[in-house]
Amino acid sequence: MATIAEPAQARSHEHLVLDFLAYLEFERGLSRNTLEAYRTDLLQYGRFLEERHVKSADARPSDVSDFLTGLAAGNAQSKPASPATVHRKAACLRSFYRHLRREGIRDSDPAASLSPPRRGRKLPHVLTRGEVEKLLNDPKGTEPAALRDRALLELMYACGLRASEAINLDVADVDLDDRVLRARGKGSKERIVPIGGSAVTAVRIYLERGRPALVKSISEPTLFLNFRGGALTRQGLYKIVRRHAEGAGLGDKMSPHTLRHTFATHLLAGGCDLRSVQEMLGHADVATTQLYTHLSSQRLKDVYFKAHPRATLN
């Protein structure tokens, strides 16, 4: 006897979320981290709707708005969410409901008229040239871990790599003769980035003297390895960066992304054009890269007012 398919509108919120995440993964190619963030946001939203006895397929604009307003205001159980967090969750809900409309599950979009709080423009922390020099010189000695750390830090600063891109590099992705590497960015998008001479030297030394002592299997393709011979993890990368930042006297607030911010800012301050920096960073939208023009001009102003003998005269 044939079974009757469940109407799409009657599916549970969890079922609709799983369908949406599958669409994002296989049709849009979004990263695992992004998918996990979407899943967390949508399940939180589902719990909110459940308390109201409302199905996500039946939600009204007021339900979506009240959810976001509640996040921004906070309650006895949780602190107010930052404008950036509320903005991210609003974007997630817009994408979710656009998907439900495409699938014919809804004929209207309750998130279409959202007006989330504007995000403040928080400028990322960047290092000075002197601070970069201290950081890159902190890994000392000829032990395999020291050679790995020096090569890793040099390459991240030379190429503006994200943490995930650095730990996912294979040996075959780096061409030291042509001085380029292939980075796999968000959504599995690949880009080619030049490698500077200092990074080429550091990586070459690591490949010759450091990696052979760390690798346990000749079939292991990953460039940067841990002590067990496997791929370096994100947590391992963070520990390496933090350890050498503290060793260089840069404090404990620095992250791998600080090197990416510094890469972009130093290139623009040195005269590199915005479009080229966008391509090297792998930004889909040049507006994202434009943040660094503000950073660069602010740094130039700081240098000017400190160095010019008549800059501070009344």
Give the residue numbers marked as catalytic.
162, 186, 257, 260, 283, 292
Give 11-49 as a 3 state SS string: CCHHHHHHHHHHHHHHCCCCCHHHHHHHHHHHHHHHHHH
- Find the DSSP H helices in the chain: 13-26, 32-51, 61-73, 83-102, 129-137, 144-159, 163-167, 197-205, 211-214, 234-247, 256-269, 274-281, 286-307
| SS3 assignment, position 286 | helix
74 Cβ contact list (under 8 Å, min separation 6): 80, 81
Instruction: Tell me which residue has tokens 């350890």.
Output: 243
Residue (of 245, 277, 140, 254) closest to 202 by Cα position: 140
Cα–Cα distances in Å, from 63 out to 81, 88, 301? 18, 17, 47
Least Cα distance to 55 among 3, 106, 103 occurs for 106
Give the CA angle between residues 139, 249, 201 to the nearest 5°: 30
d(CA 11, CA 21): 15
What CA–CA distance (Å, rounded) separates 259 from 281?
A: 12
β-sheet with 174-175: strand ranges across: 174-175, 180-184, 190-194
Q: Distance (Å, rounded) from C-alpha 251 to C-alpha 154?
A: 19
